[in-house]
Amino acid sequence: MSAIHLSKLHGAGNDFLVSAGDVRLSPSSVAGLCDRHRGVGADGLIIVGPGHDGADCSMTLFNADGGSAEMSGNGIRCLAWVANRDGSGDGKRLVVDTAAGRREVELELDAAGDVAAATVDMGPVTFEPAEIPLDAPSPFDLEATFHGVTYRGDAAGMGNPHLVLLVDDPSAARVTQHGPRLETDERFPQRTNVEFVALAAPDELALRVWERGVGETLSCGTGVCAAAAVAHRRDLVGESVLVRVPGGEHGVELGETIRLHGPVVHVFDTEVEQ
């Protein structure tokens, strides 16, 4: 048996196991490592691979259920911590290839030289149904009803699919009850992440999220960006938005691409026999 070195980190409570090198794991192995009762525990697992054609490294991302995912705004900051520790990049910027495309990460280091926060160019948002992907003529004003509760909101793509629902109070929303049903809405052929969002103050949003293949998480970077983009299109917020989630807060700058700022915290390193 061989040992796999894992670093556990989190970005605003959204936690990941990160491993660097030629690591190959089956979906069941990923799910076992992410299991919070029988494994190490995490919302997802990331493998840092070599970079090509100008990239410093690559990111392979798995959800907690072992399924592949395209992109994570919190996960890529966790990857940046490990990549910077291992000598990738110049200590100021990291170029990462992901399944959703190439992303640039600006690093903020602490006194020890570790990544304490980062700003990620998350790329553009899309409202084109085929790009989300969404099997509906329009991504706007979608409805879904469960147990007498009718939700309304918009679909958006951030390299992965999102359904952003406008609610009165995210803290009272039935995220864990209705999230699984909304995740598998037949209009989303690849399932979807679901955000429950409300305007909390001028240019400030409150959000809870049900992540595809994971469940409710304390934060979701792509979900934060999708929510800010939807709220901006509806003229609820400006181009600079503070998004509060149960695990902390993020800053979002909207433009041709979306820039996401947030913290990253190293929890521990461990080795696991496989």
Average pLDDT over residues 56-85: 96
Average pLDDT over residues 170-189: 97
Same domain, 77 and 150: no
Q: Are 200 and 224 in contact (CB under 8 A)?
A: no
User: Do the domain assignments include residue 124?
Assistant: no
Average pLDDT over residues 21-33: 93
Average pLDDT over residues 114-120: 97
User: Do the domain assignments include residue 139?
Assistant: yes
Same domain, 77 and 180: no
Report residue 2's pLDDT band, with 50, 70 and 90 as the boundaries: confident
Q: Flag whether pLDDT at 213 surpasses 80.
A: yes
Same domain, 134 and 241: yes
Same domain, 53 and 142: no
Residue 26: Cβ within 10 Å count: 10
Residue 22 has a pLDDT of 87
Mean pLDDT of the chain: 96
Same domain, 136 and 99: no
Q: CATH number, domain at 236? A: 3.10.310.10
Average pLDDT over residues 35-56: 96
Same domain, 96 and 39: yes
User: Do the domain assignments include residue 222?
Assistant: yes
Each residue of 260-271: pLDDT tens digit?
Answer: 999 999 999 999
Residues 6 or more apart whose CB falls under 8 angstroms from that of 188 comprise: 132, 133, 134, 135, 155, 161, 163
Residue 83 has a pLDDT of 97
Residues 6 or more apart whose CB falls under 8 angstroms from that of 180 comprise: 210, 215
| pTM of the predicted protein model | 0.92
Same domain, 100 and 136: no
Alpha carbons 43 and 50: distance in angstroms, whole number: 23
Residue 273 has a pLDDT of 84
Same domain, 60 and 151: no
Q: Is 28 helix (H, G, I), strand (E, B) or coil?
A: helix
User: Do the domain assignments include residue 7?
Assistant: yes
Q: What does the buried/exposed string (b/e) look like for 207-227 if buried means 16 or more CB atoms within 10 Å of the residue's CB?
A: bbbbbbbbbbbbbbbbbbbbb
User: Could you give phi then psi for residue 84, rounded to 5 degrees?
Assistant: -65, -40
118 is written with which tokens?
A: 């980062």
Same domain, 250 and 136: yes
Average pLDDT over residues 135-146: 97
Average pLDDT over residues 45-73: 96
User: In this structure, is the dihedral angle defined by the CA atoms of residues 219, 223, 225 and 229, taken in order, positive or negative?
Assistant: negative
Same domain, 149 and 223: yes
Residue 1 has a pLDDT of 57
Same domain, 44 and 136: no
Q: Flag whether pLDDT at 13 surpasses 80.
A: yes
State the total domains in the chain: 2
Q: Flag whether pLDDT at 192 surpasses 80.
A: yes
Same domain, 71 and 135: no
Residue 274 has a pLDDT of 73
Q: Flag whether pLDDT at 104 surpasses 80.
A: yes
Structural domain boundaries enclosing 133: 129-256
Average pLDDT over residues 107-120: 97
| Phi-psi sector, 80: left (phi>0), alpha (psi -120 to 50), beta | alpha
